[in-house]
C-alpha cells in the first residue's frame, strides 16, 4: 500500500512507541518485579559496587561459584546508574523486545519486498503472548539475546554485502558473551545449509567459510566461559545442570493448546503453511534461513535444552516471519483478481482476527504476570529476616524465592533456580522436596540440620504441618507468609 511506502519510517516509529508504551503501562502497574528478576538485580548491584559481575556468591546455595555472560548486566548497570535499578530493569528489557518488531519488519521486507505484509508481521510480533509473559517485569537477559539473534539473522540474509559481512563478524564475536542461547543462531544456520543441500542449491563457499569461522569462535568462547561447568557438571551442563524432576516440571504443562495460546493462532497457521510450502514445493534461500532457525529452536526445546518459554517465544517470532511470506503471496493473489479493490478491507479483517486471537491473550499474559509479581507480604517478611536474624543464618523457602533471600534479606539460601556449578543439585532438590512434603517432623529436622537451616519462610498455604511441632517457633507473621525458627536438632545416640 502506498501509504506505508510513503510514511514507512514514521509508521514504524509510531508502532515501536505504541508497543513500548503498552508494555511499560502494564509493567509499571506491577507492585514489584517478578521472582526471577532478583538474580539480575544481584548481578547489577555487584557491578555498580565493584565493577565486576558476581562470580562467587557467598549466599546462594550457602556459597557457590557462578558463570556469568556479562554484556547484558553491564548495559543494565550503566542505565541503572542514571535511572535507578528497578526502572532500568523494567525499561530496558521492554525496549529491547519492542525493537524486535522493527527487526521483524526489516527481515520480512527483505524476504518479500512487500511493505504491507511486513508491517502486519511487525504489529503481530509486538504482541506475542509468551514473549510478553517472559519479559514484561522479569528483567530477563533473553530480551537482549532475542533482539541480537534476529539482527544476526537479518544481517546473514544479505551476507554477500561487505558491510553486512563486517557486522556479522562483529556480532559473532559479541553474542557468546550475551547469552548461551544465542548458539541457536549457528545451529539454525547448520540446518539452513542442510535444507539448501536437500533442495539442490549450490552452497555459497564464502557463506560456509563465514559460518564455520563464527561457529569456531562462538564454541571456543562458550567453552572458555563454561569450562569449569563442563568439568564439574559434565554432560548435564547442556540442561543447565537442572535436576531432572525440576526440568520435567518446567515442561509439564506444554501441550497443543499451550502452543496456540502462547504463539497466537495466525502465526501458527500461516507459519506452518510456509514451512510446508517451502520445504516440499518451493525453494527460496532467505526462507530456508528462517526455517532452519525454526527447526533448531523446535528441536532444542523438544529436547528440553532450552527453557520452554524462551523456546516458544523464538518459535513464535520465527513463525511470524514465515507468516510474512504467506501474507505476501496472499496479497499478491488478491491484486491479481477482481477483488483487488478489497485489499484494504481484507487486511483489516486479518488484523481484527489477530486482535481477537493474539492481543487478548497478550493482555491476559500481561495481567497474569503482574499478578505473579513478588507478593508485598513476602517483601515484608524478607525485610524482617534482614533486620532480626544473625547474618550467617540459612533460610529455607520456595525455590522461586531463592534469589530474594540472597538479594533482599541478604541471607544464605538452601536452593535457588541456578544449578550451574552445583555438584549435588539433584540430591539437594530431592531434600528440598522432602522438607516441603514429608509428614515426619524428625525427617524434616534431620534434613534441615543437614543444610544448617535456621529459619523456614513459606506461604501459609504451603507451610508443612510439622511446623506446628514444638521444634518450630513462629517468629514473624504476615498476612500471607509465616517465618519459623528451627530450635531442635536430631542427633545420633551412641
Query: Phi and psi for 458 in degrees, rounded to 5?
Result: -145, 160
pLDDT over 80 (residue 367):
no
Residues 168 and 210: beta-carbon distance below 8 Å: yes
Among 423, 443, 422, which residue's Cα sits nearest to residue 434? Answer: 443
Res. 44 pLDDT band, cuts 50 70 90:
very high
Task: Assess whether 393 and 281 both reside in one domain.
Answer: no
Task: Assess whether 132 and 275 both reside in one domain.
Answer: yes
CA 324 – CA 290 distance, rounded (Å): 11
| Mean pLDDT, range 375-399, rounded to an integer | 95
Q: What are the pLDDT digits (tens) for 306-323?
A: 998 899 999 999 999 999
pLDDT over 60 (residue 1):
no
Res. 136 pLDDT band, cuts 50 70 90:
confident
pLDDT over 80 (residue 179):
yes
| Mean pLDDT, range 451-467, rounded to an integer | 93
Task: Assess whether 160 and 182 both reside in one domain.
Answer: yes
Residue 492 is predicted with a pLDDT of: 65
Last residue of a domain, one of 371, 392, 423: 371
Report which of residues 224 and 5 the model is more confident about. 224
| 83 within some domain | yes
| 55 within some domain | no
Residue 360 is predicted with a pLDDT of: 66
Residue 8 is predicted with a pLDDT of: 82
Residue 56 is inside which H or E element, if any?
A: strand 56-57
Residue 444 is predicted with a pLDDT of: 94
Res. 339 pLDDT band, cuts 50 70 90:
low
Res. 149 pLDDT band, cuts 50 70 90:
very high
Task: Assess whether 96 and 238 both reside in one domain.
Answer: yes
Residues 99 and 89: beta-carbon distance below 8 Å: no
CA 412 – CA 394 distance, rounded (Å): 5
| Mean pLDDT, range 95-109, rounded to an integer | 96
Residue 448 is predicted with a pLDDT of: 95
**DSSP strands (E only) in 341-454:** 394-396, 412-413
Share of the chain above pLDDT 90, in %: 60
| 53 within some domain | no
| Mean pLDDT, range 20-31, rounded to an integer | 89
| Mean pLDDT, range 188-214, rounded to an integer | 87
| 47 within some domain | no
Res. 340 pLDDT band, cuts 50 70 90:
low
Last residue of a domain, one of 371, 392, 412: 371
Q: What are the pLDDT digits (tens) for 238-258?
A: 899 999 999 988 877 666 666
pLDDT over 70 (residue 259):
no
CA 324 – CA 338 distance, rounded (Å): 23
| Mean pLDDT, range 376-405, rounded to an integer | 96
Residue 254 is predicted with a pLDDT of: 65
* Cell output for 213: 569461522
Residues 32 and 376: beta-carbon distance below 8 Å: yes
Average model confidence (pLDDT) for the chain? Answer: 89
Residue 249 is predicted with a pLDDT of: 85
The range of the structural domain enclosing residue 446 comes to 376-486
Task: Assess whether 222 and 274 both reside in one domain.
Answer: yes
- How far the first Cα of the chain sits from its last, in Å, is 87
Res. 365 pLDDT band, cuts 50 70 90:
low
Task: Assess whether 292 and 391 both reside in one domain.
Answer: no
Residues with Cβ < 8 Å from 250, sequence gap 6 or more?
Answer: 242, 304, 307, 308
Residues with Cβ < 8 Å from 76, sequence gap 6 or more?
Answer: 40, 43, 44, 88, 89, 92, 139
Share of the chain above pLDDT 70, in %: 91
| Mean pLDDT, range 279-284, rounded to an integer | 78
Task: Assess whether 409 and 343 both reside in one domain.
Answer: no
Task: Assess whether 278 and 323 both reside in one domain.
Answer: yes
CA 457 – CA 10 distance, rounded (Å): 52
| Mean pLDDT, range 230-239, rounded to an integer | 89
Task: Assess whether 200 and 244 both reside in one domain.
Answer: yes
| 356 within some domain | yes
| Mean pLDDT, range 262-276, rounded to an integer | 83
Res. 180 pLDDT band, cuts 50 70 90:
very high
Q: Per mean pLDDT, which range of 1-15, 136-150, 287-301 is the poorest?
A: 1-15
pLDDT over 70 (residue 484):
yes
Residues 27 and 365: beta-carbon distance below 8 Å: no
How many domains, in total, are found in the chain?
A: 2
| 38 within some domain | no
| Mean pLDDT, range 415-442, rounded to an integer | 94
Last residue of a domain, one of 351, 371, 391: 371
Residue 490 is predicted with a pLDDT of: 77
| 73 within some domain | yes
| 139 within some domain | yes
Task: Assess whether 310 and 181 both reside in one domain.
Answer: yes
Res. 170 pLDDT band, cuts 50 70 90:
very high
Residue 199 is predicted with a pLDDT of: 77
Q: What is the CATH number of the domain that holds 448?
A: 3.40.50.12610
pLDDT over 90 (residue 406):
yes
CA 38 – CA 6 distance, rounded (Å): 45
Task: Assess whether 365 and 392 both reside in one domain.
Answer: no
Res. 334 pLDDT band, cuts 50 70 90:
confident
Distance of CA 344 to the CA centre of its chain: 36
Task: Assess whether 275 and 409 both reside in one domain.
Answer: no
When mean pLDDT is compared over 70-74, 202-206, 261-265, the highest value belongs to 70-74
| Mean pLDDT, range 458-481, rounded to an integer | 92
CA 357 – CA 346 distance, rounded (Å): 17
Residue 456 is inside which H or E element, if any?
A: strand 455-459
Amino acid at each position: 500500500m502506498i501509504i506505508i511506502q510513503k510514511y514507512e519510517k514514521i509508521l514504524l516509529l509510531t508502532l515501536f512507541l505504541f508497543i513500548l508504551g503498552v508494555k511499560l503501562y502494564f509493567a509499571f502497574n506491577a507492585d514489584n518485579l517478578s521472582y526471577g528478576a532478583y538474580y539480575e538485580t544481584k548481578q547489577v548491584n555487584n557491578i555498580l559496587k565493584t565493577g565486576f559481575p558476581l562470580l562467587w556468591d557467598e549466599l546462594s546455595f550457602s556459597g557457590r561459584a557462578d558463570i556469568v555472560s556479562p554484556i547484558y548486566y553491564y548495559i543494565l548497570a550503566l542505565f541503572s546508574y542514571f535511572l535507578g535499578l528497578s526502572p532500568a530493569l523494567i525499561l530496558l528489557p521492554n525496549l529491547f523486545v519492542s525493537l524486535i518488531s522493527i527487526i521483524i519488519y526489516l527481515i520480512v521486507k527483505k524476504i518479500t519486498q512487500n511493505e504491507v505484509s511486513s508491517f502486519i508481521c511487525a504489529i503481530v510480533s509486538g504482541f506475542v503472548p509468551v514473549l510478553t509473559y517472559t519479559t514484561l517485569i522479569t528483567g530477563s537477559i533473553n530480551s537482549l539475546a532475542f533482539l541480537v539473534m534476529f539482527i544476526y539473522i537479518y544481517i546473514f540474509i544479505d551476507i554477500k554485502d561487505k558491510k553486512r559481512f563486517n557486522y556479522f563478524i562483529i556480532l559473532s564475536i559479541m553474542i557468546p558473551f550475551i547469552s548461551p542461547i544465542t548458539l541457536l543462531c549457528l545451529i539454525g544456520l547448520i540446518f539452513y545449509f542442510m535444507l539448501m543441500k536437500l533442495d539442490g542449491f549450490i552452497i555459497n563457499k564464502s557463506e560456509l567459510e563465514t559460518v564455520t569461522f563464527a561457529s569456531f569462535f562462538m564454541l571456543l568462547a562458550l567453552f572458555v566461559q563454561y569450562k569449569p561447568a563442563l568439568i564439574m557438571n559434565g554432560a548435564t551442563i547442556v540442561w543447565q545442570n537442572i535436576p531432572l524432576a525440576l526440568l520435567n516440571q518446567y515442561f509439564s504443562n506444554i501441550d497443543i493448546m499451550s502452543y496456540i495460546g502462547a504463539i497466537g493462532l495466525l502465526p501458527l497457521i500461516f507459519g506452518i503453511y510456509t514451512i510446508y510450502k517451502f520445504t516440499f514445493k518451493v525453494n527460496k534461500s532467505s526462507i530456508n534461513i528462517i526455517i532452519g532457525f525454526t527447526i533448531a529452536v523446535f528441536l532444542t526445546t523438544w529436547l528440553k535444552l532450552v527453557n520452554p518459554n524462551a523456546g516458544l517465544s523464538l518459535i513464535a517470532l520465527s513463525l511470524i516471519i514465515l507468516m510474512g511470506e504467506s501474507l505476501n503471496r496472499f496479497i499478491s493473489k488478491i491484486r491479481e483478481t477482481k477483488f483487488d479493490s478489497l485489499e484494504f478491507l481484507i487486511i483489516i479483517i486479518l488484523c481484527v482476527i489477530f486482535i481477537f486471537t493474539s492481543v487478548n491473550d497478550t493482555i491476559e499474559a500481561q495481567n497474569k504476570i503482574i499478578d505473579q509479581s513478588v507478593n508485598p507480604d513476602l517483601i515484608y517478611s524478607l525485610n524482617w529476616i534482614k533486620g532480626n536474624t544473625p547474618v550467617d543464618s540459612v533460610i529455607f523457602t520456595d525455590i522461586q524465592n531463592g534469589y530474594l533471600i540472597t538479594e533482599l534479606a541478604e541471607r544464605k539460601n538452601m536452593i535457588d533456580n541456578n544449578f550451574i556449578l552445583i555438584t549435588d543439585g539433584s540430591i539437594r532438590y530431592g531434600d528440598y522436596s522432602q522438607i516441603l512434603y514429608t509428614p515426619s517432623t524428625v525427617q524434616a529436622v534431620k534434613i534441615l540440620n543437614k543444610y544448617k537451616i535456621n529459619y523456614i519462610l513459606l506461604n501459609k498455604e504451603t507451610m508443612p504441618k510439622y511446623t506446628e511441632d514444638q521444634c518450630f517457633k513462629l517468629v514473624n507473621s504476615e498476612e500471607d507468609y509465616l517465618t519459623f525458627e528451627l530450635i531442635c536438632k536430631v542427633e545420633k545416640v551412641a
